[in-house]
Structure 1
Amino acid sequence: MKLGSPGRWFDIPPSDRTSILPAFLILYAALYLAYGTQSAYLPAFLQSHGLAVEQIGLVLAAGTVIRIGAGPLTGRLADYLEARKQLLALAACLSSFIGLTYNLAFGFAALLVVSMLHAGATASLAPLSDALSVAAARERAFQYGWVRGAGSIAFIGGTLASGQLIDRFGLSSIILTSSVFFLIMAICAATMRGPADGPHSAEAYDGGAIRALLGIAAYRRLLIIGFLVIGSHALNDTFAVIQWRRAGYDNLSISLMWSEAVVAEVIVFFLVGPWLIERLGVAGAAALSAGAALLRWSVMASTSEMSALIGAQALHGLTFALLHLAAMGIMARFVPDRLAATAQTIYGTGALGIASAIMTTASGYLYGMFGAQSFWAMAACCAIALPLTRRLKVP
């Protein structure tokens, strides 16, 4: 079964298409507007509320740890109760109201508590949204890439809007705006119509969900591939701008190259990705993603020439967005519906969260010792992942 194959869109009654798709578009737009509005300037906000630079790092790191644990726990609860939509609405509502308390908190202890609570509330939002939207796509309601691509566009919009908001209303405005978008997401999740839940199964309550998921060979390999390929982006996310500044590029050039990667991501989510998965399958798409990442980091390690960097940034659509689409397809094909939310949260906040934490920490040491040559280590991670993709074929 294809994940939201374009041709099957026309087999769905128009009333179903128009009633389901807009709700998911609003859901993803609200989620990523909330993220985009807040994420870039949150460190500056924390500093304005009395935190030193070292304390900001501790607060953000604590949030990462909480997300790694809270995401899978919430996903498992959603599957156990067979209440993914309800848990998503509750988590989004909590994200909104807890987020507002940032404006009331000053000093390390208070901001640490708020940050950890907010991280716990937001941890499952994207994976639970993916679990719902992949199920809807599997019912042939729409292309998953459409809603995820809309999220990427919304993130850009939120990031751009945040600067304007701060200039006019101050740093506290991003907290308020982000909380409003989380609340819109909660309302949308609570009222949206999606695929009907399946019948209750005793296997959903046997307490062996993790063992069951890890018993699925394709899912195990996906966790490893995601850890290596998506995790390899940590060095780029942390040090690419520093490297480009060292190479003498001005801020405009850097901004354009960074924006190019986001545009490539959106193009793959909307257009290229579904076409590639239709023709290559999920295994071929994952292999292409790992190979593109291997090429991308090899270029970054080898040269700082503008033309080469432009090409490397264009590969972001393949190295991130295509693998994300392949991952959704793999989970749609191999993971039982009763474990969908658990699988999404273990992959999205568990494996990828741990990968980000480990790779970001390692990147600091690697870049400090080897500079741009440290991208060879990221290329090696993708080379290790490449042969694993051959075992993802649909039986």
Structure 2
Amino acid sequence: MPPRFLLAFVGLYGGYGMVSPFLPAFLAERGLDPRAIGLVLAAGTGVRLLAGPCAGRLADRRGAGRAVLVVCGLLTAGATLAFLAGHGFPALLAVGILYAAASAPLAPLADALALPAAAAGRFAYGHLRGAGSAAFIAASLTAGLVAGSFGTAAVLALGALGFAGLSAAAAGLPVPPAAPEREGGGLGRLLRSGGFLRLVLAAALVVGSHAVHDAFAVIRWREAGVSPAWIGLLWAEAVAAEVAVFLVLGPPLLDRLGPGRALALAAAAGILRWSVMALTAALPAVAAAQALHGATFALLHLACLRRIGDTVPSRLAATALTLYGSVGLGLSTAGLTLAAGALYAGLGPGAFWVMAALCVPAIPLALSLRQDPVETVRDAVAEGRDLVRPHQPD
């Protein structure tokens, strides 16, 4: 695996692993109450929905994916350090918005640079993404030790170092050959592509279905008498399953099934996983369900990126990936997380049945992708054709 790609992904996900778990605790230490912390985080979510696609579109229009990634990495590092100087709600809110805007396009832009190199046979994308997940785990564990010894401010400083490392490594990444952009840009045609929209919707349903788990699984397990040590192991098991699929199991499974059937399998795994969570909190059953995270997230992500890489022209790759990640997945996750509280309050563990139901329509959506020619989006955009109506020969 090329060292610069490896260092870029380790810096990116290592930075996230440092900052994400401890940012709320840092804001609390700076005097923000829970309501104010929620406002800072919610504002960041809203900003991400706009900043990600805007940065992706800029990268595509200018053919400057690497440059935008480097600048956004440096801005994210600077914003992370700026938290250390912030005091009071207005200042921390402003820094939080800057951090969200700068960090939103990092993962999609890194993927947009990695996918062409992976397609050229330089490495397997799953191996690279698995290394990023492993870096997230290692950084989170390190952050816990650092926070206990030196405080959360030291954790954020290390996170900033990770993002700066991403920028340093990204500056040397290869740039995919630029494709000439026709007038009109192809963005409208991409947004009218039935195949692309079905892909994003299917992924949004499955990823969004994690909302009740992420918000209330620990509460559910604690109420059932599961010890904190076992709860920690259950979370670690899910991330380990994710890494195993990225590194070992996912690529050959994806080659065998293809993106459509692999995405359908991820949705079916979601139905099974959330059904188990609705029915029982018995430790053996929950442990088996947690292992399915390798399918409900990692296999899904591999399938979606394979499909996007196969069908979307390189000059729209950053746009497509930011729409997929920041808008499709981000909007569904934010909306369903907001709904999760009311669902769990009203239904208790029965809220997991709602999450299982969300995965059901994702299966036919995913399987419908197998009926679309791989070249549909790529060729239609290249030729200036309409992606909705079939092309008729002259």
Whole-Å separation in 2 of the counterparts to 1:383 and 1:185: 38
| 1:390 shift after superposition | 1.1
> Residue deviations 1:286-329, cap 9 Å, x none?
11100000110011111111111111001000011000000001
Whole-Å separation in 2 of the counterparts to 1:239 and 1:260: 17
1:172 matched residue in structure 2: 153
Describe the SS at the equivalent of 1:230.
Answer: helix
> Residue deviations 1:125-164, cap 9 Å, x none?
0010011111111112111001100010000011111111
Percent identical pairs in the alignment equals 46
| 1:199 shift after superposition | 3.5
Whole-Å separation in 2 of the counterparts to 1:212 and 1:23: 34
Residues 12 and 166, structure 2, Cα contact 8 Å, conserved in 1: yes
- The answer to whether residue 59 in structure 2 is matched with residue 78 in structure 1 is yes
2:117 matched residue in structure 1: 136
1:214 matched residue in structure 2: 191
- The answer to whether residue 322 in structure 2 is matched with residue 342 in structure 1 is no
- The answer to whether residue 207 in structure 2 is matched with residue 226 in structure 1 is no
TM-score normalised to structure 1 length: 0.92
Which residue identity is paired with 2:25? A
Whole-Å separation in 2 of the counterparts to 1:133 and 1:241: 35
Residues 66 and 175, structure 2, Cα contact 8 Å, conserved in 1: no
Which residue identity is paired with 2:326? T
Whole-Å separation in 1 of the counterparts to 2:256 and 2:156: 43
Residues 135 and 195, structure 1, Cα contact 8 Å, conserved in 2: no
Residues 216 and 334, structure 1, Cα contact 8 Å, conserved in 2: no
> Residue deviations 1:344-391, cap 9 Å, x none?
001111111101111101111000111101100000000111111111
Describe the SS at the equivalent of 1:76.
Answer: helix
| 1:177 shift after superposition | 0.6
Describe the SS at the equivalent of 1:285.
Answer: helix
Which runs of 4 or more aligned residues in structure 1 lie more than 6 Å from their structure 2 counterparts after TM superposition? none
- The answer to whether residue 8 in structure 2 is matched with residue 27 in structure 1 is yes
Whole-Å separation in 2 of the counterparts to 1:382 and 1:121: 31
- The answer to whether residue 285 in structure 2 is matched with residue 304 in structure 1 is no
Q: How does 1:357-376 map to 2 (within 5 A)?
A: 357-376=334-353
Whole-Å separation in 2 of the counterparts to 1:226 and 1:199: 28
| 1:166 shift after superposition | 1.3
Whole-Å separation in 1 of the counterparts to 2:319 and 2:257: 27
1:196 matched residue in structure 2: 176
| 1:208 shift after superposition | 4.8
2:254 matched residue in structure 1: 277
Whole-Å separation in 2 of the counterparts to 1:181 and 1:271: 26
Which residue identity is paired with 2:311? F
Describe the SS at the equivalent of 1:202.
Answer: coil
> Residue deviations 1:161-196, cap 9 Å, x none?
11111122212101111111111111111122x253
Whole-Å separation in 2 of the counterparts to 1:195 and 1:167: 41
Which residue identity is paired with 2:338? T
2:385 matched residue in structure 1: none
| 1:38 shift after superposition | 1.1
| 1:217 shift after superposition | 2.3
Which residue identity is paired with 1:201? E
Whole-Å separation in 2 of the counterparts to 1:238 and 1:199: 43
Residues 136 and 195, structure 1, Cα contact 8 Å, conserved in 2: no
- Extract unaligned runs of 5+ from structure 1: 1-17
Which residue identity is paired with 1:116? I
Provide the alpha-carbon RMSD of the alignment: 1.1
2:225 to 245, 248, 270: 248
Which residue identity is paired with 2:261? G
1:290 to 267, 274, 277: 267
Which residue identity is paired with 1:239? F
Residues 72 and 102, structure 2, Cα contact 8 Å, conserved in 1: yes
Residues 69 and 110, structure 2, Cα contact 8 Å, conserved in 1: yes
Residues 152 and 266, structure 1, Cα contact 8 Å, conserved in 2: yes
Counting matched residue pairs gives 372
Residues 266 and 300, structure 2, Cα contact 8 Å, conserved in 1: yes
Whole-Å separation in 1 of the counterparts to 2:171 and 2:284: 47
Q: How does 1:322-337 map to 2 (within 5 A)?
A: 322-337=299-314
| 1:200 shift after superposition | 2.4
1:238 matched residue in structure 2: 215
| 1:214 shift after superposition | 2.1
- Extract unaligned runs of 5+ from structure 2: 374-394
Whole-Å separation in 1 of the counterparts to 2:85 and 2:91: 9
1:320 matched residue in structure 2: 297
2:30 to 49, 53, 59: 49
Which residue identity is paired with 1:153? A
Whole-Å separation in 2 of the counterparts to 1:93 and 1:70: 16
Whole-Å separation in 1 of the counterparts to 2:179 and 2:255: 30
